[in-house]
Structure 1
Amino acid sequence: MNHDFSLLETILFTPQEGFYLLDLHITRLLKSATDYRALAADCFVSPPTPQQITDVLNAHLKDRSSYQRVRLLLNTASQLTVEATLLPEPTLSAENLHLAALKVPLINVILDTQPIPCITDFFLRHKTTRRDLYNNARERLNCSFHVSNDREPFDVVLWNQQHQVTETSIANIAVGEPINDTWNWKTPMTDCGLLGGVFRQYLLSTGEVKEAIITVDDLVHAQQKGHDHIMVTLRAQEQQQQQQEFDATVDEQQPVDEIQLYQDARYISAPKAIWRIYSFSLHHRSPAAMQLALHLPTAGKRSLTRMIP
């Protein structure tokens, strides 16, 4: 077994609260080390204690007045590494998941074309620097991390051999449905083969989200229902970066694209939604010709009825 990897935790640092959900991050990191040591006894022999991890994080962050994205890495020799990237101050806040889903900009996702190979794979259940499965899925579907790019999907939705939805390449998934004037949120079960995110675990502990089996058909149904169903990804750190890119795009003062506005706001019927999810061709015309209406300045309205070679 190749031990050339590191366990990874991505932690949000805020000036007000410090390291967001730090206890949950540390617990997940050390559990991953224990689970891998059961597979390879010569790895993670002397993992750090929670206090040692906290001390290393505090020693690394000198600037505590800015929002930061902190990467905490633990290699198989039990050595810690900390990396930090500055984040913009968030412009969005919400009291619950439903309000957050309504405020953040929409992103395009697409179903993977093949199931994940093994739901019990260690590198699928634990967050590490080994991301071949996720990167291959993104390359397969030509995914782009640019929120403003409508021509390519932002992320890919993964599913297992039982056609159960698991996660995306960078986030957990939650599907919301209104029941008796309240929103019922469910997220795929870890037994389906996914990495349980820390923010997901927090929402489960508060009762705002519940585990359930979500099939590919359920996802199609949510797409068909439109405004009655909402699908969101649960990843606190990237939401701020996505919002910054969205705001920057709006501030460029580019000409209004009315065609794009129509495409963004149009209603997609159930048959068309299925076609789009499975990337089938939406249009076919044979022969590829149609009558054109011409508006001439002095002659009024005319029709072009003959094709010119």
Structure 2
Amino acid sequence: MDRPVEDFSLIETLRYEPEAGFVRLRLHLARLQRSARRLGFATPKNVLGELEQSVAGASAPLRVRLTLDREGQTQVTTAPVVPLLPDTLWRVRIAATRLDSSDKLLRFKTTRRAVYEAARAEYRPDEAEEVLLLNEKDEVCEGTITSVFVADDPDTLRTPPISAGLLAGVLRTELICQRKARVGRIRLDDLKDRPLYVGNSLRGLIRAQLIWN
């Protein structure tokens, strides 16, 4: 079961590159502040300073995880991250676990992860690199750690609307702002004859192959 509504924290997972700094930092901080405001969390202080301190002296790419609790307290942890090769292809499968489009908390990145953990547990790691979740209307929503995109044409991706019951991912937001992606509902049939991608701010956009169950 998920934790009680009062007992969760907000999360931002960033990528740090020694030469470039934090990737998509502005979008991550904007989402954190917006989420805190909408959920009634205390305003975080000196987040940027804590992030910079966590990567001081780093000479290799890092995964940086920032959490913010309701009182405005933050924690930052780091771990090495190995870049994916350009020709990486992830196998993805469809979970039986469903998302509820009426659950507004799905729009925020939080430590309430039970539904995603249940979906991921349906397949072994050697069966799929990612697992996609549908909502109660059988609309494609998102992966357990990624946003979902289909290519309608060589220049434009389509990604599900937030109202379907999914996270406003940072990579997703960037691609929409750059007009490289548009918002539109995705059905399973759309995945049969269109190129499929998954992605997040940490890993970037990844080609995917749907393995039909």
TM-score, scaled relative to structure 2 = 0.88
Give the residue type in structure 1 aligned to 2:119.
A
Q: Which residue of 2 aligns with 1:231?
A: 196
Summarize the alignment of residues 21-40 of structure 1 with structure 2, pairs less than 5 Å apart: 21-37=24-40
* Amino acid of the structure 2 residue aligned with 1:105: T
Identity of aligned residues (%): 30
Distance 1:70 1:156 in 2: 23
Structure 2 counterpart of 1:154, from 126, 129, 138: 129
- Structure 1 unpaired stretches of 5+: 38-43, 93-102, 223-228, 243-263, 265-272, 280-309
Q: CA offsets, 1:88-128, max 9 Å, x none?
A: 4x474xxxxxxxxxx33222211122432x21324311111
| Residue 125 in structure 1 maps to residue 107 in structure 2 | yes
- Equivalent AA in structure 1 for residue 202 of structure 2: Q
Q: What is the identity, as a one-letter code, of the residue corresponding to 2:133?
A: L
Alpha-carbon distance between aligned partners in 1 of 2:18 and 2:56, rounded to the nearest angstrom: 12
Deviations 1:40-74 (A, max 9, x none): xxxx2x3125xx21111112222233211100110
User: Higher strand proportion, which one?
Assistant: 2
Query: Does residue 1:134 correspond to 2:137, yes or no?
Result: no
Instruction: Give me the whole-angstrom Cα distance separating, in 2, the residues matched to 1:206 and 1:131.
Output: 29
Match of 1:47 in 2: 43
Indicate how the Cα distance of structure 1 residues 10 and 91 shifts in structure 2: closer, same or farther if over 3 A, else same: closer
One of 174, 178, 181 as aligned partner of 1:206:
178
Counterpart CA distance in 2 for 1:131 and 1:161 is 18
Instruction: Compare the two structures and name the one with the higher helix fraction.
Output: 1
Residue 146 of structure 2 corresponds to 171
Question: How do 1:24-103 and structure 2 match up within 5 A?
Answer: 24-37=27-40, 44=41, 46-49=42-45, 52-88=46-82, 90=83, 92=85, 103=86
- Which residue matches 2:87? 104
SS of the residue corresponding to residue 78 of structure 1 reads coil
Superposed structure 1 runs of 4+ greater than 6 Å apart: none
Which structure: larger Rg?
Answer: 1
Gaps of at least 5 residues in structure 2 are none
The number of aligned residues is: 208
Where relative contact order (Cα < 8 A, 6+ residues apart) is larger, the structure is 2
The answer to whether the 8 Å contact 1:11/1:70 transfers is yes
